[in-house]
């Protein structure tokens, strides 16, 4: 009886020991592998949007960020209303903190964004300006912001979302006040302010051929013909389970920009699951496959070397407030646990 008990105790402790060893090795293997580590071995950039507050306050946020990514995009900190709150005052507090974090950990920075129709300060939207005044404001803004981060931002989204879905130019304060010329001027001023930064036009909904992507393509071709300095196109890639271009269509779109000598980056990827069908685990699996496919496209196409996600933890995604519904569009859950999408990206990077 006593021997039996002792034997049982031995078996139990042996299995606990084995389980712990397996867990420990698993943990060790995971900590030696990261998206960042695998990406940099193949000259790829895996990035994420970064928010100022959690970066300041949450050690876990900083830790996962620096471990998994080699590129960041400030999610709001470089937008007009944040950096240029009054006509004669700039405020780089938040953006500087993010750029400093990035430089301390050797992460590249994408600057986002110089010319957009949203997140503008009221002095600008409510002011009345002549075309010449508005041009001077935009020139000053671009020179100051790009100049401030000169040599520290590797790529700028110079112009964001300038086209409507039907391919016409969007009616914005810039188009109304300056005319179509604002696009060309913005790129020229950005180049003057930092000749080494790569300059991008960034858009959503133009991931594959269609009215919007075609208009963008033709417009950029025109800019290039006129010698306007533009280096690439950003495909935002805000998609969902029921709303996603095929990988082949995205690859075709990338190739035609390659023919113009342009780089393409995936700049704001997230994958909503709220409109998918199936159980949660099936939806997370479908989400994982979409992330994996898009990374694969970027890995294979010669003019793509960057995939940036619009955040990394579901705890800080813009999607729930944007859509008004719960969602889980990113690759780590709210407790920073890797989701199937994370493992899928690891797997694609290991090929």
Residues lying near ligand XIL in the complex (CB under 6 A):
75-76, 160, 204, 236, 268, 318
Which of these, 119, 102, 117, 103, lies nearest to 50 by C-alpha position?
102
Residue of 75, 161, 293, 301 with catalytic role: 161
Between 80 and 187, whose beta carbon lies closer to ligand XIL? 80
Minimum distance from residue 337 beta carbon to ligand XIL (Å): 22
Helix (H) or strand (E) holding 222: helix 211-225
Least distance from ligand XIL to the Cβ atom of residue 157, Å: 7
Least Å from the CB of residue 43 to ligand XIL: 25
| Residues 143, 238: Cα–Cα separation, whole Å | 30
E strand or H helix that includes residue 45 = strand 45-50
- Report the SS3 class of residue 234: strand
Q: Do 271 and 341 form a contact (C-beta atoms < 8 A)?
A: yes
**What count of Cα atoms within 13 Å lies in the side-chain half-sphere of residue 259?**
8
Min dist CB 161 to ligand XIL, Å, is 6
Closest approach of ligand XIL to the CB of residue 160, in Å: 5
**236 versus 306: smaller Cβ distance to ligand XIL:** 236
Residues in the chain: 351
- The rounded distance, in Å, linking the Cα atoms of 85 and 125 is 12
Residues 159 and 246: their CA atoms lie apart, in Å, by: 26
| CA separation for the pair 87, 345 (Å, rounded) | 44
**Smaller CB distance to ligand XIL: residue 163 or 204?**
204
For the bound state, the minimum distance from the C-beta of residue 319 to ligand XIL, rounded and expressed in Å, comes to: 9
Please, which residue, 244 or 346, has the CB nearer to ligand XIL? 244
With respect to ligand XIL, which residue has the nearer C-beta, 114 or 349? Answer: 114
Say if CB 107 and CB 71 are below 8 A apart: yes
Comparing CB distances to ligand XIL, the nearer of 34 and 113 is 113
* Residue 158 DSSP one-character state: E
To the query of whether residue 224 is one of the catalytic residues in this protein, the response is no
Q: Which is nearer to ligand XIL, 50 or 348 (CB)?
A: 50
| Long-range pairs of 288-292 with CB within 8 A, sequence gap ≥ 24 | 288/339, 288/340, 288/341, 288/343, 288/344, 289/344, 290/239, 290/241, 290/244, 291/331, 291/341, 291/344, 291/345, 292/341, 292/344, 292/345, 292/347, 292/348
Give the active site residue among 75, 263, 268, 301: 268
Q: Using DSSP, how many helices (H) and how many strands (E) does the chain show?
A: 15, 9
Please give the Cα distance from 112 to 153 (Å, whole number). 10
Collapsing DSSP to helix, strand or coil, 146 comes out as helix
Cβ of residue 205: shortest distance to ligand XIL, in angstroms? 10
Distance CA 309, CA 98 (A): 16
| 263 in active site | no
Q: What residues are annotated to the active site? A: 161, 268
């Amino acid at each position: 009886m006593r021997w039996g008990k002792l034997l049982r105790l031995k078996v139990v402790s042996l299995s606990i020991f084995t389980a712990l060893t397996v867990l420990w090795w698993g943990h060790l293997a995971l900590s030696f592998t990261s998206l960042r580590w695998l990406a940099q071995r193949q000259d790829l950039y895996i990035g994420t949007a970064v928010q100022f507050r959690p970066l300041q306050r949450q050690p876990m946020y900083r830790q996962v960020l620096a471990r998994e990514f080699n590129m960041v995009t400030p999610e709001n900190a470089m937008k007009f209303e944040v950096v240029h709150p009054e006509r004669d005052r700039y405020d780089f507090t938040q953006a500087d903190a993010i750029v400093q974090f990035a430089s301390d950990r050797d992460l590249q920075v994408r600057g986002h964004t110089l010319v957009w129709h949203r997140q503008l300060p009221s002095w600008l939207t409510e002011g009345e300006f002549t075309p010449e005044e508005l041009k001077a404001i935009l020139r000053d803004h671009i020179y100051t912001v790009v100049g401030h981060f000169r040599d520290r931002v590797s790529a700028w989204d110079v112009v964001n979302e300038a086209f409507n879905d039907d391919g016409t130019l969007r009616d914005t304060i810039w188009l109304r006040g300056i005319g179509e010329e604002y696009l060309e001027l913005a790129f020229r001023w950005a180049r003057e302010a930092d000749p080494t930064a790569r300059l991008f036009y960034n858009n959503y909904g133009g991931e594959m051929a269609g009215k919007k992507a075609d208009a963008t393509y033709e417009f950029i071709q025109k800019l290039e013909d006129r010698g306007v300095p533009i280096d690439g196109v950003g495909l935002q890639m805000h998609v969902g389970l029921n709303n996603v271009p095929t990988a082949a269509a995205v690859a075709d779109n990338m190739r035609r920009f390659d023919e113009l000598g342009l780089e393409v980056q995936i700049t704001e990827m997230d994958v909503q699951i709220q409109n998918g069908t199936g159980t949660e685990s099936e939806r997370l699996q479908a989400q994982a496959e979409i992330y994996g496919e898009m990374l694969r496209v970027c890995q294979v196409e010669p003019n793509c070397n960057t995939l940036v996600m619009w955040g990394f933890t579901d705890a800080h995604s813009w999607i729930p407030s944007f859509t008004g519904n719960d969602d889980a569009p990113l690759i780590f859950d709210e407790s920073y646990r890797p989701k199937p999408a994370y493992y899928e990206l690891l797997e694609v990077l290991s090929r």
